């Protein structure tokens, strides 16, 4: 019996399980997964060296199980995304242990490949400080344009706070599951999961029937890190899943950020340790993640556009003034006159005009700086 390519893709996913690096040897060689199942045992043995995998790829029962899985997924509105598909998340595809298949249910697969994405993770036993900080940071991120997608793991504490705050702010959010799509974990968050499918989506690489186990949470964390531009850790004990996600993010060359806490706070110990060894950027304000990522707020973007227009339209003295202030955050009056390259009788009126235009500002000590940058 011949099957469509989605069935072959699911069969590869089931057979290789977490052996994603080995699976990539075959998936990189064959544009369509069906080609893998056309290989003889001898051909397979030249490409992979594990006998159990060769046996599984030669077993037609694996295809029957994959066919049943595909039929179930389609009946429940679940998208199956193969690593060779154009809609496979490009950030995740960069990772050497990226899953061969993703199961997705939600408002559209575009939320897996957004312009910006931030993973927010932390302890299940979040304190009022951690929850409040989580809400403040995500509300601040919602001011950006485009807004980043918020990614987390649907768990208690920081995870669910991040998902729900994103929805409240009109942002898309993606929950990465440690189970198959037929088993939402934790069960208490089933209603939240339904809400998330209307404003983002649920994603997993686990086949139907996969139950939550210690190893599945570790596997889930690599997808959380791989889908994001940055991972933000809000509260973590000295050991925990959030720290593992942060470590994975570092291995994928993602930005890692952490919210500090008091020395006596058990659930800030992990964050403080990351910051202490320069493994994470410190978050000291709600707008810090956007600044670290270099993401401009709309009002800042308009100011920069206005500054660029002024720079293009003004004469050389004003240009030199702006260049001097752009190179150094604060410049004294005499230094500014010198850098402007003109007579003080020409420079000072130009400085005054730029102040009146709201482009630069001065303090009580006669120091000048660019405004609102």
pLDDT for position 361 = 86
Q: State the pLDDT confidence band at 17, using cuts at 50, 70 and 90.
A: confident
- Angstrom CA distances, 3 to 56, 60, 63, 120, 335, stand at 17, 11, 8, 39, 75
Query: What's the mean per-residue pLDDT of the chain?
Result: 91
pLDDT one-digit tens code per residue, 146-170: 999 999 999 999 999 999 999 999 9
Backbone φ and ψ of 151, nearest 5°? -115, 135
Q: Which residues pair with 200 in a beta bridge?
A: 173
Q: State the pLDDT confidence band at 27, using cuts at 50, 70 and 90.
A: confident
Helix segments in 143-295, DSSP class H: 158-168, 190-198, 214-227, 241-251, 269-276, 288-293
Q: In CATH, what number does 109-293 get? A: 3.40.50.450
Q: Which of 268-272, 337-341, 358-362 has maximum average pLDDT? A: 268-272
Q: State the pLDDT confidence band at 111, using cuts at 50, 70 and 90.
A: very high
pLDDT for position 1 = 63
Contact 98, 251 (CB under 8 A): no
What average pLDDT score do residues 105-110 get?
92
Q: State the pLDDT confidence band at 301, using cuts at 50, 70 and 90.
A: low
User: Does a cis peptide bond (omega within 30 degrees of 0) precede residue 177?
Assistant: no
| Overall pTM surpassing 0.85 (yes/no) | no
Q: State the pLDDT confidence band at 261, using cuts at 50, 70 and 90.
A: very high
HSE, CB side, 13 Å, CA atoms: give it for residue 100. 29
Contacts of residue 130, Cβ cutoff 8 Å, sequence gap at least 6: 122, 123, 157, 158, 234, 235, 259, 267
- Given a cut of 60, whether residue 255 has pLDDT beyond it is yes
Q: Which of 50-64, 246-260, 338-352 has maximum average pLDDT? A: 246-260
CA distance 62 to 182: 20
What average pLDDT score do residues 228-232 get?
98
pLDDT one-digit tens code per residue, 280-295: 999 999 999 999 999 9
For every residue of 175-189, which 3-state class applies, written as one string?
A: EECCCCCCCCCCHHH
What average pLDDT score do residues 97-126 get?
95
Question: Domain 298-370, what fold?
Answer: Arc Repressor Mutant, subunit A (1.10.10)
**Domain positions in the chain:** 1-75, 109-293, 298-370
Comparing C-alpha atoms, which of 266, 257, 330 is closest to residue 295? 257
What average pLDDT score do residues 3-19 get?
90
Report the phi/psi class of residue 167: left, alpha or beta, with left for phi > 0 and alpha for psi in -120 to 50.
alpha
- Given a cut of 80, whether residue 353 has pLDDT beyond it is yes
- Given a cut of 90, whether residue 19 has pLDDT beyond it is no
Which has the higher per-residue pLDDT, 80 or 333?
80
Q: State the pLDDT confidence band at 37, using cuts at 50, 70 and 90.
A: confident
pLDDT for position 182 = 94
HSE, CB side, 13 Å, CA atoms: give it for residue 54. 13
What average pLDDT score do residues 343-365 get?
84
Contact 289, 268 (CB under 8 A): no
Q: Are 109-293 and 298-370 equal in CATH topology?
A: no
pLDDT one-digit tens code per residue, 165-179: 999 999 999 999 999
pLDDT for position 306 = 67
Contacts of residue 205, Cβ cutoff 8 Å, sequence gap at least 6: 13, 99, 100, 101, 102, 103, 219, 223
Q: State the pLDDT confidence band at 347, using cuts at 50, 70 and 90.
A: confident
CA distance 270 to 254: 18
Q: Is the dihedral of CA 65, 71, 75, 80 positive or negative?
A: positive
- Given a cut of 90, whether residue 309 has pLDDT beyond it is no
User: Does a cis peptide bond (omega within 30 degrees of 0) precede residue 146?
Assistant: yes
Backbone φ and ψ of 306, nearest 5°? -65, -40
Polymer length of the chain? 373
Q: State the pLDDT confidence band at 264, using cuts at 50, 70 and 90.
A: very high
- The 3-state DSSP class for residue 297 equals coil
């Amino acid at each position: 019996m011949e099957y469509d390519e989605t069935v072959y893709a699911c069969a590869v996913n089931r057979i290789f399980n977490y052996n994603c690096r080995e699976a990539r040897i075959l998936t990189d060689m064959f544009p369509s997964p069906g080609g893998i199942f056309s290989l003889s045992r001898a051909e397979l043995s030249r490409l992979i060296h594990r006998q159990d995998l060769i046996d599984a790829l030669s077993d037609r029962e694996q295809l029957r199980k994959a066919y049943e899985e595909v039929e179930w997924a389609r009946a429940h509105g679940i998208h199956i995304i193969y690593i060779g598909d154009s809609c496979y998340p490009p950030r995740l595809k960069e990772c050497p242990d990226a899953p061969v298949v993703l199961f997705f249910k939600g408002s559209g697969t575009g939320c897996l490949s957004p312009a910006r994405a931030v993973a927010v993770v932390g302890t299940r036993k979040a304190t009022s400080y951690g929850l409040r900080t989580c809400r403040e940071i995500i509300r601040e991120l919602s001011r950006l344009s485009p807004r980043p997608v918020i990614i987390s793991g649907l768990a208690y504490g920081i995870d669910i706070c991040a998902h729900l705050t994103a929805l409240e702010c009109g942002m898309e959010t993606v929950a990465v599951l440690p189970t198959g799509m037929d088993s939402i974990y934790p069960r208490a968050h089933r209603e939240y999961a339904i809400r998330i499918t209307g404003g983002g989506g649920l994603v997993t690489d686990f086949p139907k029937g996969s139950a939550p186990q210690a190893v599945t949470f570790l596997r889930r964390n690599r997808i959380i890190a791989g889908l994001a531009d940055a991972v933000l850790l809000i509260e973590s004990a000295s050991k925990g899943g959030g720290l593992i996600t942060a470590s994975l993010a570092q291995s994928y060359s993602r930005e890692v950020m952490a919210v500090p806490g008091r020395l006596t706070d058990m659930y800030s110990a992990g964050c403080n340790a990351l910051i202490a060894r320069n493994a994470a950027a410190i978050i000291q304000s709600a707008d810090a993640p956007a600044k670290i990522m270099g993401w401009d707020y709309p009002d800042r973007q308009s100011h920069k556009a206005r500054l660029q227009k002024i720079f293009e339209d003004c004469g050389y003295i004003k240009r030199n003034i702006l260049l001097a202030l752009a190179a150094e955050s604060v410049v004294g009056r005499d230094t500014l006159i010198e850098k402007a390259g003109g007579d003080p009788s020409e420079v000072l009126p130009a400085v005054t005009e730029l102040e009146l235009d709201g482009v630069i500002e001065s303090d009580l000590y006669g120091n000048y700086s660019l405004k609102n940058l």
